[in-house]
Every structure is written in C-alpha cells, then in structure tokens.
Amino acid sequence: MKEKEDNIKKKSFDLIKTYLLIYNLTQFICWLTILLRLLDHDYNILKGENSSLYQNIIWPITITHLLANLEIIHAITNIVPSNLRVTLMQIFLRMYIACIISHVAQYGIGFAMVIHAWTFADLIRYSYYTLYIMKIAPYFVRWLRYSVFVVAYPLGAVGEHFCLFAAHMHVMRFGPWNVRIANTDIILLHKYILYILWVISAPMLLHLYMHMLKQRKKVLGRQSFTDCAKHK
C-alpha cells in the first residue's frame, strides 16, 4: 500500500513539474518576443524614426499577463512557495496597467519604464525557473535572477505610478474609455481603483523588494561560499 501511495505521489510530482516547466517556458518565449520587439522599437527611435511601443508589444504583453493569472492558482494550491496576498496584488496591479490603462499610459515615460523593467526582470526570472526545473541553471543565470531586480524593480515601481497618474488624469478629463459618460458611478469606480492601487502598491513593492534583497543575500551568499569551499 505504501509503495502504491509513493508511486501516486511521484506521478503527481512529475505531472506538476512538467506543467511548471511548460508554463515557465511559455512565459519565457512570450517575454523573449516582447524583448525583440522592444529592441526593434528602441533601435527605430535611435534612428529618429516613428515607432509605437504600444502597438509593437500590446498583444504579447496582454497574453503574458493573462497567463500570469495562473500564478494565483499556483499560490493557492501551494505548488510554488508564493505569498498569495502579494501575488494577488502584484498581478492585479500589472494586469490593470497592461490590459486596462496601457492605451492611455502609452504616451508617457512611465509606460516605457515599466515595459523595459518588466521585460528584463521577467525574461530572466522565467528563464531561471525553466532551467532550475530542468536542474541545469548555471550560476550566472542565478546571479542575474537575484541582481537585475535591484535596478528593475525600482524602475518599474516608479513607472507604474506614472502610468496610474496618467490614467487618473485621463479619466478625470475624458472618462475611462475616451467617452464622456453620464453615469458618474463608472468614473468614480475607476478613480477609486486607481486610488486603492496607489495606496497598496508602494508598501507591497517595498515588501517585495526587501524580500528579494534577503533572498539575494541568502542564495548568492550561499553560492559564493560553496564556490570558495570547492577551490580550497
């Protein structure tokens, strides 16, 4: 009986591992697509040509954020060690920016800031997770995973607040969908959502940033110690 239970657990573990591998690999491909389009956009801007970052990345950025909702299920079912509250707030904030207000925020510097920050941070994050599941993650990928966020997270946080401010100003002038709406309840709803996101995002991002700094010290510090021991 015990052997049968062990076999069931092993099959369940293998199934979860395969699913997480597919999920992280899919996200990596999505973010790689965004990176290539982002670099093409930046190159065109440097050449002095017209280029719309929003038009270039809106579909892949929408797809990857819709897929990211699965991470809420990951946290609920505990197949990954994620804080459910932080995961919910982070995904809702990014979904709101990427899928709801990006058409408004695209004209400000905040939109460019969040796309650059998200792209580099998440491309590295999902590549690390993919390689980690396959047990072939090299040290430099781990180092990137726990180092790039030091710059990317603050850049993204500032950009996200710029986007929220741009959306607030737009809603005040034109309504949520570029249409003057007689029903003030809809406008008030959007205003309250923006206010709530402003209030909760700063402490949430600070908490996440401090957590990652602790993880960086824990993971890279331990790795460095191990490497030194090997060379003695």
pLDDT of residue 228: 33
- 210 assigned to some structural domain: yes
Residue-wise pLDDT tens digits, 129-153:
999 999 999 999 999 999 999 999 9
Residues 6+ apart with CB under 8 A from 139: 223, 227
Whether 226 is in a domain gets the answer: no
Residue 45 or residue 11, greater confidence:
45
d(CA 196, CA 189): 11
Q: Is residue 140 situated within a structural domain?
A: yes
Q: Evaluate whether residue 231 is within a structural domain.
A: no
For 64-69, which contacts have Cβ atoms below 8 Å and span 24 or more sequence positions? 64/27, 64/30, 64/31, 64/34, 64/122, 65/91, 65/94, 65/95, 65/98, 65/99, 66/95, 66/99, 67/23, 67/26, 67/27, 67/30, 68/27, 68/94, 68/95, 69/95
Q: Is the dihedral of CA 115, 118, 120, 124 positive or negative?
A: negative
User: Would you tell me how many other CB atoms lie within 10 Å of the CB of residue 231?
Assistant: 5
Q: What is the mean pLDDT of residues 196-203?
A: 84
Instruction: Name residue 98's amino acid.
Output: A
CA–CA gap between residue 195 and residue 188 (Å, rounded): 10
Stated pTM of the model: 0.86
The answer to whether residue 197 sits within a structural domain is: yes
Say whether pLDDT at 183 is over 80: no
Burial 25-64 (b: 16+ CB within 10 A, else e): bbbbebbebbbebbeebeeeeeeeeeeebbebbbebbebb
pLDDT number for residue 104: 87
Residue-level pLDDT at 119? 98
Residue 229 belongs to some domain of the structure: no
The number of distinct structural domains making up the chain is 1
Residue 27 Cα distances to 60, 95, 122, angstroms: 10, 15, 8
Question: What residues make up the domain containing 27?
Answer: 2-220
Per-residue pLDDT of 54-85, as tens digits, reads 999 999 999 999 999 999 999 999 999 888 98
Going from the C-alpha of 189 to that of each of 112, 175, 176, 195, the distances in angstroms are 26, 11, 10, 10
Q: How many Å apart are CA 60 and CA 222, to the nearest integer?
A: 36
pLDDT attached to residue 3 = 67
